[in-house]
Amino acid sequence: MEYEIKSLGKFKYVEEGQGEPLVLLHGLFGALSNFKDLFDYFKQTHRVIIPMLPLYDLSLLETSVSGLQRHVSKFIEAHELTKFHLLGNSLGGHIALVYTLKHQDKVHSLTLTGSSGLFENGMGETYPKRGDYDFIKKKTELTFYDPHVATTELVDEVYSIVNNRIKALKIISLAKSAIRHNLGDELMDIKMPTCLIWGKNDIITPPIVAEEFKKLLTNSELHWIDKCGHAPMMEVPQEFNQILGEFLSRHKI
């Protein structure tokens, strides 16, 4: 994904397009490339913004869902966004939920895909098995219904992260934080339109998680994508973009 990485103070981000703001939050092993097809599609109709989350740059004390939410909150303030659409995948969905609970006046619509916040089969403590490339390859492939979506480039990226001791510790810290930070008792407070786009074959946040989100988020709609895992916007971008596009067109700012 060859886009200009911009800076505003301590924040790094990618931004293109004009129109209603659409903020995208990536997951634990997420990279800007995870949103490539979504970004290219929606920059034609929206002002698409992807903050680069400091997964490995915060202190260990701040390396948590709450710490990343505070970073996003400051990023939104720095950009002077008053109303926007918010989308999160995996850990990014969890961060989006925590942000939304604190800033319902700013989030016009919310989209979650493979979000943590209720339950997830996380990579957890077993994931950073340093030095074992085949183990990392198999774990990365589990993200998708079609294991071929886990390209060599993607596996290499994950492998380099877990073989960096400090980054591996931060990953474990964030995974534990996500498990502890269960939002089940708070989700009914979220009132804005919410779109749930879920892979039927997601084994990290399984279909039962999507159904629970649908039950607890009172103004939500749930869309299933068959033969799809934990990252629908990567695995089946055309179908994902169509669902999201129709949702955003029905909920203009």
At 195-214, the pLDDT tens digits run: 999 999 999 999 999 999 99
143 phi, psi to nearest 5 deg: -65, -25
- 56 within domain boundaries: yes
At 110-137, the pLDDT tens digits run: 999 999 999 766 544 444 455 688 888 8
- pLDDT tens per residue across all 253 residues of the chain: 577 899 999 999 999 999 999 999 998 877 777 899 999 999 999 999 999 999 888 888 889 999 999 999 999 999 999 999 999 999 999 999 999 999 999 999 999 999 999 976 654 444 445 568 888 888 888 899 999 998 998 889 888 888 888 888 888 888 888 888 889 899 999 999 999 999 999 999 999 999 999 999 999 999 999 999 999 999 999 999 999 999 999 999 9
Question: Quick one: which H or E segment has residue 50?
Answer: strand 47-51
Looking at residue 123, its pLDDT comes to 46
- 168 within domain boundaries: no
- 216 within domain boundaries: yes
Structure-block tokens of residue 31: 């990279």
Structure-block tokens of residue 110: 């919310």
Q: In what order do the strands lie in the sheet with 194-199?
A: 6-8, 11-16, 47-51, 21-25, 84-89, 107-113, 194-199, 220-225
- 143 within domain boundaries: no
Q: How many residues does the chain have?
A: 253
- 1 within domain boundaries: no
Looking at residue 129, its pLDDT comes to 55
- 226 within domain boundaries: yes
Q: How many domains is the chain partitioned into structurally?
A: 1
Looking at residue 203, its pLDDT comes to 93
Looking at residue 219, its pLDDT comes to 97
Number of Cα atoms under 13 Å in the Cβ half of residue 56: 14
Looking at residue 1, its pLDDT comes to 54
Cβ atoms within 10 Å, residue 69: 22
Looking at residue 126, its pLDDT comes to 45
Write the single-letter amino acid at 250.
R
- 145 within domain boundaries: no
State in Å, rounded, how far the first CA of the chain is from the last one: 28
* Helices then strands, each counted (H, E), the chain: 9, 8
Domain span at residue 215?
6-120+182-250
Q: What CATH number has the domain bearing residue 113?
A: 3.40.50.1820
- 144 within domain boundaries: no
Structure-block tokens of residue 113: 């895909």
Is the whole model's pTM more than 0.85, yes or no? yes
Structure-block tokens of residue 140: 């990365």
Write the single-letter amino acid at 46.
H
Looking at residue 87, its pLDDT comes to 98
Looking at residue 73, its pLDDT comes to 97
